[in-house]
Structures are given as structure tokens and as C-alpha cells.
């Protein structure tokens, strides 16, 4: 028996092929998607996973059997998919992002590449799949192939504002960045040094998940060995990235948000920039020092993209390595992120490490997970202990602010976990408050 309910997640569909997600379910999802959105056309892209051709074939048969046409953009990274999805009435990407090779899944969008999440449609699609009562339309749809690569490359190249001969190492982790990044870089004056840029979804070198810092060791070593200006690690579907400076140091994603914001504000003064509420307070400081407006956002791409649209934000950065751009249809792009970091290095005539160093003013705990059975009760208990605070927010879990330190605890969507992020003005205060809060959470 397939565990249908378990593959429908908060932001997408994901499961192990063929035990959790197979052709039969993919076919039903195709039909359910068309019924739910009442659409006549669906853009479909797919990553290079070993099961993607079979899943793609079943999904698109479901879509066409339900009477809608498929615009088949073929092999694509997620940013490449979003580029076409932004012009479409609906779209589906066949991918399992950074998950291990045996996984596959779907990302769903309605018009303008607007993501469909658990509470905006994924659960409705699941119910239709479970009900399994599909009526055949009068006419079936057809599959129309479309090559979008050249236009996608032009779109990306428009963000490069420097012709300095920078040396850049790209670790694509054998994922979809292997398909797009070499094609973009061959049109640029940079010295492109590929690392694991042979597409192979067996992931022979390391898991394509740059948030696991142990996967970055080869990139760090290569940057030092080649005396490169910048190293970038990509995830499996090519939408997330992490930067490494010329000394081989990993640049935290909140500091990347601050730097990208600083660069964009040079040509877009006064714009609004959103930042992940777990970010260092240096992010807000840098944005406002450079003439921008700053605002926190909750974690999760569907929430961030909606807030960007609602408030017309120029840019948003998330600690997961997703960086979102208004000028790229309010979607994330690892190449645009790479381009803007290079633009900034050229604009400031400083190395990346020199740009990052002044931002390291505060001391962070990093994200610490704790097993908690009753998450809501524990959050209330923590809030009660710190009710003397200057400011409390409930934007995503609980955020508590004092003059010289702050913390956020938020529940995992999928596991019995509470996640703690804490920052303080001194290392001693950070460690003291971290231990104090963990004691409450874990007792």
C-alpha cells in the first residue's frame, strides 16, 4: 500500500521511487492538478534524476488525459523552470531538490510561478488523488515541446555588471547546475573552474546539499588551490547556493543577504528588502545604512514569495540558501546570486573576505534542534519565562528581543522538533542564554 498522505508535504510532494511515489500516483496527480486549478495548459520541467523520465511521462499523461496541454520544457534546473512558469497559467517541476538519489517529487505553481503549498492547494490535490474519481473530458490535451534555454541564458546574463576576469569555482554537486552553469559561464569573461559539473544523479562525490557544511570541503580546498575569487556550491535542482570566500571560508547566508542587499541598493535606492527572521541583526543594520527599508519574513519559500509580491520587495534572503529577486519574477536564482556577489566585489574593489569581515559583529548559536513532544506547550512555557522582554513576535514560532541578545524558537513542520536560533553581542552572553533556553526546552 502506497503511503499517499506521507508524500504530500508543506511545500511540495516528495517520496522514494517507486515505493512511495510511482507512475500510478504521478498519473493521478497530473489529473488532480488540472481539475483543482481548472487550467488548459501546464508547463512541465524535470531534473536529471534517474526516475524523472518515467515520472514525467506518467504525470504528463495524467495532465493530457484530463484535457489540458503540456508545455514540455524538458531537462531544467528549478530557476530555469521558474523562468518559464512566470509566463504560464500553471506549472509543475519534477524534482526532489537536494534529497538523495532514490527520491523524486513535484513542485507546483499557479499563474506567474506563484507556489502552491500545503494550505493553498497541495492538500486539495491530495484529496482528489485519494478520491480517484476522474471523469474523462471530451478532448484530450497534447504535449508541445518548447526550448527555453537560450532565453533563460540571456535573462541570467543581464544581471552581470562587471567584466573583470574573476576566477570562480562552481561545485554543482553533479546536480542540475551542471546543465546550466557551464552554458552561462561560457558567455562570460570569467575564469570558470567547474567542480563536479558532470550531471550524475547518483551523486558520486557528495550529497547535493550545501547546507551540510561537510559537503563543502572539496570546494573550499579548490578555491584555495586555484586562488579563486569566489566559490559557489549548488543544491541538486540548482536553486539554492552557498558562497565560499577566497580564503576558503564559508559565508553564512544571512551575511550573503546583507551583501546582496547592499549591492542591489546601489541601483535601487530606498527599496524594501526582506530577510529571514533567524538572520543576524547586522542584516537590518546594513540594509538601512545603505538607504534601504528592511522587514523580517517567516521561513519557507511560499510565504516569502507571497510577502515579496504583497509588499513589492526588491529582494529576499533565507538562511536555507534561497535568494529571491523581484527582477526574476519573485523567484530564487543561484546564478543571479553569484553574479551580484561578483558585481559587489568589483564595485567595492575588495575581496569577499574583506566585505564579510565587518559584518561579523555578533555571536550566533546556529540552529539547534531539540526533540519535543508538545511543541506548542513548550513554546508557551518559554514565552512565560521571558515575558519581561522589550519585544515579542509570533511571525514564525516565538521571537524574543532584548537590548543585547535575541532568540527565536520555531516548530518543525514535519517532526517533533523545536529549532532554536540565538544571537548576542558577546560570545559569553550567547553561550549563557543558549544554555538557559535549551535547559527549559529539554527539561
pLDDT tens digits along 359-400 = 999 999 999 999 999 999 999 999 999 999 989 999 999 999
- What pLDDT, on the 0 to 100 scale, is given for residue 5? 80
Domain boundary among 195, 223, 250: 250
* CA distance to 83, 109, 293, 361, per residue, from 331 (Å): 9, 11, 20, 30
The reply to whether 235 and 263 lie within a common domain is no
Residues recognised as catalytic: 97
pLDDT digit string, tens, across residues 21-70 = 999 999 999 999 999 999 999 999 999 999 999 999 999 999 999 999 99
CB of 56 closer than 8 Å to CB of 30: no
For residue 413, pLDDT over 90 is answered with no
Share of the chain above pLDDT 90, in %: 97
For residue 3, pLDDT over 90 is answered with no
Query: pLDDT averaged over the chain?
Result: 97
Enumerate the β-bridge partners of residue 193.
169
- What pLDDT, on the 0 to 100 scale, is given for residue 390? 83
The reply to whether 134 and 38 lie within a common domain is yes
CB of 284 closer than 8 Å to CB of 278: no
Could you give the CA distance from residue 76 to residue 113 in angstroms, rounded to a whole number? 15
- What pLDDT, on the 0 to 100 scale, is given for residue 117? 93
Could you give the CA distance from residue 223 to residue 279 in angstroms, rounded to a whole number? 26
For residue 325, pLDDT over 90 is answered with yes
The reply to whether 218 and 290 lie within a common domain is no
Could you give the CA distance from residue 291 to residue 201 in angstroms, rounded to a whole number? 43
Which cell numbers in the block locate residue 66? 484530463
Burial code (b: 16+ CB inside 10 Å, e: under 16) for 254-266 equals: bbbbbbbbbbbbe
Could you give the CA distance from residue 112 to residue 392 in angstroms, rounded to a whole number? 35
* 65, part of any domain: yes
Domain count, the chain: 4
Average pLDDT over residues 261-276: 98
State how beta strands 363-364 and 417-424 pair: antiparallel
Could you give the CA distance from residue 51 to residue 64 in angstroms, rounded to a whole number? 20
Could you give the CA distance from residue 70 to residue 229 in angstroms, rounded to a whole number? 42
CB of 362 closer than 8 Å to CB of 423: yes
Q: 10 Å Cβ neighbour count for 291? A: 13
CATH of the domain at 425: 3.30.310.50
Domain boundary among 312, 327, 359: 359
For residue 1, pLDDT over 60 is answered with no
Please give the residue range of the domain that contains residue 386. 363-442
Residue ranges of alpha helices (H) inside 86-131 are 122-131
* 392, part of any domain: yes
- What pLDDT, on the 0 to 100 scale, is given for residue 414? 75
Long-range CB contact pairs, 426-432, < 8 A, 24+: 426/363, 427/363, 429/363, 429/404, 429/405, 430/363, 430/364, 430/365, 430/405
Could you give the CA distance from residue 263 to residue 347 in angstroms, rounded to a whole number? 8
pLDDT digit string, tens, across residues 222-268 = 999 999 999 999 999 999 999 999 999 999 999 999 999 999 999 99
Cis peptide before 164 (omega within 30 of 0): no
The reply to whether 135 and 268 lie within a common domain is no
CB of 196 closer than 8 Å to CB of 179: no
Average pLDDT over residues 278-300: 98
The reply to whether 123 and 59 lie within a common domain is yes
- What pLDDT, on the 0 to 100 scale, is given for residue 2? 57
pLDDT digit string, tens, across residues 206-234 = 999 999 999 999 999 999 999 999 999 99
- What pLDDT, on the 0 to 100 scale, is given for residue 49? 97
DSSP 8-state symbol, 115: B
State how beta strands 417-424 and 368-371 pair: antiparallel
The reply to whether 52 and 74 lie within a common domain is yes
CA 145 to chain centre: 27
Could you give the CA distance from residue 134 to residue 179 in angstroms, rounded to a whole number? 37
Q: Pick from 45, 64, 37: which is nearest to 331 by CA?
A: 45
* 246, part of any domain: yes
Domain boundary among 205, 223, 250: 250
- What pLDDT, on the 0 to 100 scale, is given for residue 258? 99
* 159, part of any domain: no
CATH of the domain at 187: 3.40.120.10
End-to-end Cα spacing for the chain:
39
Range name among 6-10, 73-77, 203-207, 319-323 with the lowest pLDDT average: 6-10
pLDDT digit string, tens, across residues 144-187 = 999 999 999 999 999 999 999 999 999 999 999 999 999 999 99
Could you give the CA distance from residue 164 to residue 344 in angstroms, rounded to a whole number? 12
The reply to whether 355 and 367 lie within a common domain is no
Amino acid at each position: 500500500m502506497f503511503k499517499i498522505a506521507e508524500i504530500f508535504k508543506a511545500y511540495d510532494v516528495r517520496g522514494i521511487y517507486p515505493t512511495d511515489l510511482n507512475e500510478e500516483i504521478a498519473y493521478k496527480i497530473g489529473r488532480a492538478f488540472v481539475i483543482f486549478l481548472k487550467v488548459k495548459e501546464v508547463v512541465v520541467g524535470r531534473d536529471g534524476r534517474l526516475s524523472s523520465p518515467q515520472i514525467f511521462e506518467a504525470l504528463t499523461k495524467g495532465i493530457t488525459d484530463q484535457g489540458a496541454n503540456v508545455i514540455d520544457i524538458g531537462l531544467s534546473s528549478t530557476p530555469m523552470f521558474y523562468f518559464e512558469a512566470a509566463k504560464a497559467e500553471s506549472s509543475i517541476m519534477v524534482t526532489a531538490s537536494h534529497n538523495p538519489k532514490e527520491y523524486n517529487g513535484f513542485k507546483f505553481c499557479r499563474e506567474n510561478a506563484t507556489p502552491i503549498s500545503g494550505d493553498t492547494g497541495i492538500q486539495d490535490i491530495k484529496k482528489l488523488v485519494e478520491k480517484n474519481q476522474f471523469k474523462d473530458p471530451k478532448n484530450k490535451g497534447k504535449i508541445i515541446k518548447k526550448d527555453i534555454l537560450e532565453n533563460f541564458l540571456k535573462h541570467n546574463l543581464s544581471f552581470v555588471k562587471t567584466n573583470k576576469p574573476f576566477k570562480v569555482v562552481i561545485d554543482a554537486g553533479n546536480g542540475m547546475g551542471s546543465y546550466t552553469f557551464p552554458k552561462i559561464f561560457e558567455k562570460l569573461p570569467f575564469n570558470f573552474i567547474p567542480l563536479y559539473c558532470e550531471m550524475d544523479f547518483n551523486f558520486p562525490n557528495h550529497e547535493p546539499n550545501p547546507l551540510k557544511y561537510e559537503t563543502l570541503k572539496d570546494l573550499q580546498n579548490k578555491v584555495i588551490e586555484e586562488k579563486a575569487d569566489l566559490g559557489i556550491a549548488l543544491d541538486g535542482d540548482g536553486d539554492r547556493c552557498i558562497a565560499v570566500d577566497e580564503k576558503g571560508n564559508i559565508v553564512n547566508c544571512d551575511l550573503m543577504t546583507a551583501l546582496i542587499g547592499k549591492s542591489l541598493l546601489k541601483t535601487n535606492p530606498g527599496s524594501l528588502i526582506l530577510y529571514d527572521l533567524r538572520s543576524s541583526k547586522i542584516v537590518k543594520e546594513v540594509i538601512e545604512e545603505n538607504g534601504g527599508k528592511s522587514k523580517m519574513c517567516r521561513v519557507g519559500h511560499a510565504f516569502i514569495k507571497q510577502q515579496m509580491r504583497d509588499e513589492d520587495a526588491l529582494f529576499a534572503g533565507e538562511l536555507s540558501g534561497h535568494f529571491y529577486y523581484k527582477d526574476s519574477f519573485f523567484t530564487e536564482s543561484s546564478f543571479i546570486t553569484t553574479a551580484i556577489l561578483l558585481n559587489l566585489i568589483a564595485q567595492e574593489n575588495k575581496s569577499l573576505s574583506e566585505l564579510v569581515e565587518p559584518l561579523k559583529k555578533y555571536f550566533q548559536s546556529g540552529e539547534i534542534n531539540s526533540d519535543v513532544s508538545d511543541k506548542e506547550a513548550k513554546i508557551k512555557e518559554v514565552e512565560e519565562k521571558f515575558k519581561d522582554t522589550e519585544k515579542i513576535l509570533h511571525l514564525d514560532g516565538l521571537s524574543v528581543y532584548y537590548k543585547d541578545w535575541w532568540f527565536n524558537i520555531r516548530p518543525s513542520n514535519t517532526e517533533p522538533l523545536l529549532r532554536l536560533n540565538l544571537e548576542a553581542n558577546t560570545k559569553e552572553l550567547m553561550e549563557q542564554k543558549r544554555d538557559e533556553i535549551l535547559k527549559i526546552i529539554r527539561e
